[in-house]
Amino acid sequence: MDFRWSEEQELLLESLEELLKREAPESLMAELDAKKEFPDKPWQALADHGILGLGIPEEYGGAFTDIMTMTLVCQALGKHALPLGIIYSLGVITIRDILQFGSEEIKKEVLGGMIRGDAPVALGITEPQAGSDAAALKTTAEFDGDEVVFNGQKMYCTLSKQAKYILLMTRDQKSENPYESISMWLLPTETPGITFHLLNKVGWWTVPTYEVFIENVRVPKKNLVGEMNKGWPQLMANFEIERLALCAASVGAAEAAFEDAAAYANRRVQFGKPIGTFQAVQHIIVDMAVKIENMRNYIYKIAWMMDNDMPVRTEHAMCKLYVARASFEVIDSAMQILGGLGYMMDHRVQRLWRDIRLMRIGAGTDEIMYNIAGPQLLKKVR
């Protein structure tokens, strides 16, 4: 196996790291977090630098990129400015859905905007009664002439107010089979009848999440993305890459926490010597490093498999399960080494600690990852 990056990947990452130092320094990210503000300027800088066009075909203004490169970009974003990695990752699934299932008109309008710096299209799946059981949706779409009328409520709809569009999932309540009754729509967020209620979260303060109320909201029928009642398989098609992207950002966050902790262990003197010279601290450091190395290998393998058109249904779920936990454990250990300092709101590690906890819940909980991988694993051994 060749673990080296290509020269192009190295140059891209060097360039991206320099860009993040210039446009998204830690001081700015801390300030935005404290103010709970979306990182408009750093996000625009990523757009101006062409990062938001990676993976989008050239005909829509992007640049071809393989999944490995996208993974490395997410990891770098996660390390230097985790919220940017999260926002980027959230866009990955909606970009893919639109690329794969959207009409030409939708692709040009929506993808062009995202490349130019629009916030990613928000994903409107979860409802008060439909979380992990996404098939229990109740939001409806009823045709009225050339229009379709939506009614319902979405929960935990991240970036929905910042985005120009929500990729809205609705269900035909008359059909008995939920898997053949869900449809995907492009809903402009400025359409009359939509109201947003900001939710107060433990972390992800610069990546706002809303409860969205949809009352008699009308859009043209042409806003259907893909086929009527095929929304469920369409949605499932791209969850894997979203999870990989979020995992990569999480690995980056763990790397950042590791560096903070290791630097502190070298610097902090107690009992007359740096705490890093104590075996108890060294053991924590090594355990953190082992987990980071495992996480890196896991995400690179999944990216490589996807680039080689290999199925990753089982593997990606196990990877998401492992990375969501291990990244939190690494950051928690970093906080332990930093002691009181790491628990202070001025320190980066407390922010990473709050932000990364959601990875065990968002984009499929740990428990759902077990549900995906378990039956598949058992099928492999007869």
In the complex, which residues of this chain contact another protein (CB under 8 A)? 7-8, 10-12, 15-16, 18-19, 22, 49-51, 54, 63, 65, 69
Dihedral over Cα of 20, 23, 27, 31: its sign: negative
In the complex, the smallest distance separating the C-beta of residue 95 from another protein, rounded to whole angstroms, is 15
Of the pair 8, 142, the CB lying nearest another protein is at 8
CA gap 211, 89 in Å, rounded = 20
Of the pair 23, 211, the CB lying nearest another protein is at 23
Q: Are 225 and 65 in contact (CB under 8 A)?
A: no
- Give the H/E segment covering residue 217: strand 209-220
In the complex, the smallest distance separating the C-beta of residue 72 from another protein, rounded to whole angstroms, is 11
Of the pair 63, 341, the CB lying nearest another protein is at 63
In the complex, the smallest distance separating the C-beta of residue 273 from another protein, rounded to whole angstroms, is 13
In the complex, the smallest distance separating the C-beta of residue 15 from another protein, rounded to whole angstroms, is 4
Of the pair 22, 283, the CB lying nearest another protein is at 22
Q: Are 132 and 175 in contact (CB under 8 A)?
A: no
- In order, the DSSP letters of 163-185 are SSEEEEEEE-TT-S-GGGSEEEE
Q: How far is CA 269 from CA 11, 273, 276, 285, 350, in A?
A: 38, 5, 9, 17, 22
In the complex, the smallest distance separating the C-beta of residue 266 from another protein, rounded to whole angstroms, is 16
- Give the H/E segment covering residue 155: strand 147-158
The residues, any chain, with a CB within 8 Å of residue 169's CB and separated by 6 or more, are 124, 125, 134, 137, 139, 182, 183, 184, 185, 231, 235
Of the pair 12, 207, the CB lying nearest another protein is at 12
CA gap 44, 49 in Å, rounded = 8
In the complex, the smallest distance separating the C-beta of residue 16 from another protein, rounded to whole angstroms, is 8
Of the pair 54, 317, the CB lying nearest another protein is at 54
